[in-house]
Structure 1
Amino acid sequence: MTNVVQFREPTPDASQVQTFAAEADRARLTGPAVKAVLRAVEAWEGSNAEGAALLGVSESTWDRMKAGRWEGVLSQDQLTRASALIGLFKGLHLLFADSMADRWPKLPNRGPVFDRLTPVQAMIAGGIPRMLETRLYVDALRGGL
């Protein structure tokens, strides 16, 4: 007779799940999130229009962010976009050990998520759901799921 021990993943406490709903959390996370998204879009050689669309801000706000003159707080949706983009950037750098990590978002893609668009185009057109799907797609490619 063999004893079987089952392992269960701990269920996260709802109070520990980051939803970006609390103003204090958004204020605390905005600076680092903006800095990371600016870096990712720059690495991807994205235009100001693309960066603004990906983050869900106007081009004039994007310009102020780039110049370090924006003192706002990102919304819940904007922080969700930032989280997806930051995760995608990290996932690409784990998947590719060369410059492909930064070229991939701007290359036409035949993957089922992209319909021959570039990932950047697909994420702009599809908003948050497509951004999250793109991040999951890259995580699955690298075996992270």
Structure 2
Amino acid sequence: MAIPASDIGSVTDGAEAGRVALTFFFNLMEHWGCSREQQRVLLGSVGNTTYFKYRKLPAIRLPRDTMERISYLMGIHKALRILFSQQPERAYEWVHKSNAAAPFNGQSALEYMLAGRVIDVADVRRYLDGVRG
């Protein structure tokens, strides 16, 4: 990834933080192999116009909800990189694998997050933080 998840915290809350967050987001989506529609849902069900504006990686102050979602995704990425430190490719595959554990109940983490609520993304983050210990 071009921008480590830890770097977002060093950027002030403003237009530059938005650009850094979007750069991270789109890099992660490429690694996860997410479709445009999946990306739009993970960003908070943004419209096509907004999505394509974000793809240009502008220096933009993102809505609080969008920043919160990306922050959770950063935590998910970080936790997976720690859990699969010896096999980084597995960190990117994990989100696509079905998982019998709660809260997934047979869904993949990505399917679970695609319900569209910010709490769903937060649940995946909490789950991974619990597994990490």
TM-score normalised by the chain length of structure 1: 0.74
Equivalent position SS for 1:113: coil
Give the CA RMSD over aligned residues: 2.0
Aligned-residue sequence identity (percent) comes to: 28
In structure 2, do the counterparts of structure 1 residues 109 and 39 end up closer, same or farther at CA, with 3 Å as the change threshold? same
The answer to whether structure 1 residue 140 and structure 2 residue 127 are counterparts is: no
Q: 1:75 to 1:142 in 2, by over 3 A?
A: same
Match of 2:115 among 118, 121, 125: 125
1:112 aligns with 2:113: no
Change (3 A) 1:126 1:53: closer
Does the CA contact (< 8 Å) of 1:122 and 1:130 recur in 2?
A: yes
Q: Which deviates the most, 122-131 or 75-84?
A: 122-131
Alpha-carbon separation, structure 2, partners of 1:69 and 1:36: 10
Q: Does 1:35 align with 2:17?
A: no
The higher-RCO structure (CA 8 Å, 6+ apart) is: 2
What is residue 90 of structure 2 aligned with on the other side? 100
Indicate the larger mover: 103-112 or 51-60: 51-60
* TM-score (norm. length: structure 2): 0.80
Counterpart residue number, 2:52? 63
What is the CA–CA distance in structure 2 between the aligned matches of 1:76 and 1:117, rounded to whole Å?
28
Distance across 2 between alignment mates of 1:61 and 1:117 = 29
Give the letter aligned to residue 88 of structure 1: I
Unaligned runs of 5+ in 2: 1-8
**C-alpha contact (below 8 Å) 1:55/1:78 kept by paired residues:** yes
Cα 1:130–1:88, aligned 2, differ >3 Å: closer, same or farther?
Answer: same
CA shift, 1:28, in A, is 3.7
2:32 and 2:93 in contact (8 A); partners too = yes
Q: Structure 1 unaligned runs (5+)?
A: 1-17, 19-23
Q: CA deviation at 1:110?
A: 1.1
Residues in 2 aligned to 1:69 and 1:112: alpha-carbon distance in whole angstroms: 35
